[in-house]
Structure 1
Amino acid sequence: MLDNPASRAASSVNFRAVSSNEAGTVITTSCCSSGFNGWR
């Protein structure tokens, strides 16, 4: 990757989006599985 401010900003934003998306997935999965376990 080119070492310039624009590409660094883009990769930083992309990394943050992926991180928050993974965190949201983990939270959603754990909430759903605990909810299903509660129903069963």
Structure 2
Amino acid sequence: MPSIAARANLLSRLFFKWLMFHAANPAAMIESSDNTVTA
């Protein structure tokens, strides 16, 4: 079972990827604004 720090690190990396994806695709963020927060 991963530690709290490892889990936080993974979540932060996933969030960064999600943020960069939507920063590069604002239209995608608008179209899927209701189902993007699934992580």
- Structure-1-length-normalised TM-score: 0.58
Higher relative contact order (CA 8 A, sep 6+): 2
Runs of 4+ in 1 over 4 A off after TM superposition: none
Larger helix proportion of the pair: 1
Work out the percentage of aligned pairs sharing the same amino acid: 11
Q: Which runs of 5+ in 2 are unaligned?
A: 28-39
RMSD (CA atoms): 1.5
Instruction: Please report the TM-score for the alignment, with normalisation by the length of structure 2.
Output: 0.59
Higher-Rg structure is 1
Q: How many residues are treated as equivalent by the alignment? A: 27
